[in-house]
Structure 1
């Protein structure tokens, strides 16, 4: 009976987290709060962070769901309110949805592998996962664009190649990865502290 109750609580917790992070992605995307402009040449996107966090806190299935929410939102915005020269290409789900699903897989695998290292602090694992997964997200999105819409990409960007575009976006990509590092470590530390307090209270 106790084990069934614990399983129900865990399942309900995962469902609640999945719903909360999916809603967060949608709100950040619709309100544009997920796009932070630092200067005329530097800006960062934080929409990938909820996907990475849910993979660490709940698991891969939940991460795939939040990643799907991210991808579908990107597709809808590309269809309804495109702003950049490449935005219309995200109508293709292989460019908008697929890389966000792959992001969840990368984040989950990275998290699991880092936790296999003996005595590795969870907050360090969270920060490293945030950095690697965010960098991978940039590579995956641009990679999918070139694989599935390569001709249109080159035409829109004047013939620029994959690695040249990566080089152009490298500064922003590093900023996004650093932001993910800080946020993932901070949020995970907060959840870890809160969970420990609840565990102690339940024991009393």
Structure 2
């Protein structure tokens, strides 16, 4: 393995560790849940999964998704707070959707970067938005695929599409937040890259 490959691997490992730690900190401290009032709140816990897929690749994204899902499972088992939380002790509901969104984010990012002259910031924003919507649909879908009868009983008979409609406003807010944060990260990387190039030229 060459030096460049070693550095690349080291950077990927560092990013994976950093984003995994970020997910854990945001989850444990509840900073990953932003309340916007009595009826609206958004989560940003899935955004590190999206970012690591774009910055490092699919294997790293799957790992951070696994960390996110495992944290959700542990919190649901140890300190459930909502009517649906007890169902998240099932890894097919808590872990599987969070790993699938890594595949979606990685695939979208790769596809968008095949478009000629597509700015990285725009591609990142689109990836963040679509993946976030998919995250909501996958989590709610897994609840009904694996625990349909129990979920309906807990929600007074509410069906899948009714639940999607009820969560729609929050899902859009989360998608907008993901769009802004993902685009901002790549805008920051672009600015940092230009500054680094200027410093190299001056030397």
Q: Same fold (TM over 0.5)?
A: yes
Match of 2:9 in 1: 11
Q: Deviations over 1:83-118 (max 9, x none)?
A: 001000000000000000001011011111111111
Match of 2:66 in 1: 68
Distance 2:199 2:114 in 1: 29
- Partner SS, residue 85 of structure 1: coil
Distance 1:18 1:194 in 2: 21
- Partner SS, residue 70 of structure 2: helix
Q: Deviations over 1:174-197 (max 9, x none)?
A: 000000000000012212333454
TM-score by length of 1: 0.95
Match of 2:144 in 1: 146
Match of 1:110 among 86, 99, 108: 108
Match of 2:192 in 1: 194
Distance 1:91 1:202 in 2: 52
Match of 1:53 in 2: 51
Unpaired runs of 5+ residues, structure 2, are: none
Q: Deviations over 1:57-92 (max 9, x none)?
A: 000000000000000000000000000010000000
TM-superposed deviation, 1:198 = 4.0
Match of 2:176 among 157, 178, 197: 178
Unpaired runs of 5+ residues, structure 1, are: none
Stretch of structure 1 that moved more, 129-138 or 183-192: 183-192
Q: In structure 2, do the counterparts of structure 1 residues 199 and 65 end up closer, same or farther at CA, with 3 Å as the change threshold? A: farther
- Partner SS, residue 2 of structure 2: helix
Q: In structure 2, do the counterparts of structure 1 residues 200 and 62 end up closer, same or farther at CA, with 3 Å as the change threshold? A: farther
Extract structure 1 runs of 4+ deviating beyond 6 A: none
Q: Does 1:34 align with 2:5?
A: no
RMSD: 1.4
Distance 1:37 1:72 in 2: 23
Match of 1:156 among 141, 154, 157: 154
Match of 2:130 among 132, 135, 138: 132
